[in-house]
Structure 1
């Protein structure tokens, strides 16, 4: 399922200061809200590790006590194509950066749907590519024979012809070394076919990763051999660009996919086949809707961590009539919400990939605002009568 078990305890690493609750606030009543919110992260809430404007104040308005933002009043999730960390780790990171308590079940990353493929590849050797800890992420999902690109490339002598020029070549983290030693106890990597490759997050060493992926994919799963069908290839997302700390947008995983596909198709007789997850796929928004319904159903219950959200098919759900996607990337966030259809309503901010006047010409949003604060103000005012 999409959501993970929520972290039971968390302590903020910086104090939460009392902030005046500005604008219109929801009235405190027993009724659960009939709406939910999905936030993009990069370009809406953060630029790099810096909070954008009043993002923290906006989020605090969704808690019962804005001065102590730990108990939700309005269900919301972070729906991002980014990744590289486990959802529980990303929740802690976001909690510290944004100054509110975020549970792991509220973090839906580009690679979160990979969990659905465990039944297919859980016992096979799979390759995990990208920044952060891609093998750890996949292992958390239940993949039992997963190896990261760093680990995999280091197992083949001379597979990366430029390794000698890289100062950090073959330097694995202690955690990755532990995973590799456990894996090598059961699997001889250099003599075992890779059954699937997963691009979990943005790759760091494009040259090496394109080279090794081409080796794996054109050989049937074992570099140095010839023939065989291309193993399945999965991308966590297909963003061409995204907003990071630099003033102009940066190339994303979609750019890496284009580079890999272009090269592979020039050197192989058959075109590259792959599957991309993440926004703007409609299934991602459907998964987010299910999670928001379950979070809404848990609001006001005695338990605060809701461990059953991620794995109980018969978990009671509360009807949500309106869902809001707040994003900065028109072809990803806005197109995805519009493609998903009702009850989704798209809100475009001018704090990231989009900063123009008016609406986006090709992927128009239902509403365009300057900041996420403006978006929250609009939503809460629109639904204020439900709580009067």
Structure 2
């Protein structure tokens, strides 16, 4: 029995191909790396990654038509500028790189005992963009929060500057450049026993401060779970993975079945009720939510605010249930948070 599956995660900061390699080595199975395709199932103008790794920032690629050759800034842990560059954006700077152009833009940098960017990295950045733009005069057209920022204080200060109007000095007022968040998780479970503040907490901090120091409220667009577009993209990707496994084209499947979705059931397996379960519930049929007690949730029963269709102890329990239930009823798709 072949079961199409993918990893749907708000975690990010590295390209899908790198994440696929990491999981392949960790799990001992071959996880498909990314491949760009035109989407035909929920909006003809969108693009999506045919990959078994779908991160919160994967859909940033759909904004290429708007920002491919515009100056943009990306922030977050990992390699946010590399992520955006691999999506096809030609003039992207990480916020580390952007800050390196402006002396004293971070007034407390002298008190920090860490370095986020070496001199050689800065030199490489200057060389990289010198032929295509002038960072000192060209306005930033959009800022992308790719993953959890590392230096909140600096990033909030610099984003408040450039989001005023995109001007490097931040001194004039005007139309706010676009701001995109890869996710909105308030908390997440990491190695520390208690929950840690996530990118959603950074959004609250940035929004609160921006609205106090600027004359217009901050505007932003959010991707990732539990946003409906994240689940629509996962659904489209699972359809394509299924067709690949069965050596047929998605077009031929749609023509034959007159249906946008091959699956009678799509299982969202996750441990965060406010992200994984809420998203699956909002997405509706054919999504079925499975809540595990492996991270954000440890309750004995179900979650009160966002109850799942099924609650189990582990991911293995969830997979066993799905395979047993679906073995005699045809194909299903599985998405793991």
* TM bucket, shorter chain: 0.7 to 0.9
Deviations 1:26-51 (A, max 9, x none): 5xxxxxxxxxxxxxxxxxxxxxxxxx
Equivalent pair of 1:234/1:276 in contact (CA under 8 Å): yes
TM-score of the pair, normalised by structure 2: 0.87
Partner of 2:267: 324
Do the aligned partners of residues 187 and 298 (structure 1) sit closer, same or farther apart at CA in structure 2, a change above 3 Å counting? same
Q: Is structure 2 residue 325 aligned with structure 1 residue 379?
A: no
Partner of 1:236: 182
Q: Is structure 2 residue 293 aligned with structure 1 residue 347?
A: no
Structure 1 distance, partners of 2:99, 2:250, is 40
Q: 262, 269, 285: which is aligned to 2:215?
A: 269
Structure 1 distance, partners of 2:222, 2:119, is 28
Once the 2 structures are TM-superposed, how far is the Cα of residue 181 of structure 1 from its aligned partner?
A: 2.0
Structure 2 distance, partners of 1:97, 1:179, is 33
TM-score of the pair, normalised by structure 1: 0.75
Do the aligned partners of residues 91 and 179 (structure 1) sit closer, same or farther apart at CA in structure 2, a change above 3 Å counting? farther
Equivalent pair of 1:78/1:106 in contact (CA under 8 Å): yes
Q: Secondary structure at the match of 2:266?
A: strand
Q: Is structure 2 residue 137 aligned with structure 1 residue 191?
A: yes
Q: Structure 1: 5+ residue runs without aligned partners?
A: 1-25, 27-72, 303-311
Q: Is structure 2 residue 94 aligned with structure 1 residue 165?
A: no
Higher relative contact order at CA 8 Å, sep ≥6: structure 1 or structure 2? 1
Structure 2 distance, partners of 1:114, 1:297, is 25
Structure 2 distance, partners of 1:173, 1:356, is 49
Structure 2 distance, partners of 1:288, 1:174, is 39
Structure 2 distance, partners of 1:138, 1:176, is 18
Structure 2 distance, partners of 1:273, 1:230, is 8
Equivalent pair of 1:221/1:230 in contact (CA under 8 Å): no
Q: Secondary structure at the match of 1:368?
A: strand
Equivalent pair of 2:100/2:122 in contact (CA under 8 Å): no
- The equivalences for 1:198-277 within 5 A come to 198-277=144-223
Do the aligned partners of residues 207 and 368 (structure 1) sit closer, same or farther apart at CA in structure 2, a change above 3 Å counting? same
Structure 2 distance, partners of 1:379, 1:96, is 24
Structure 2 distance, partners of 1:278, 1:176, is 31
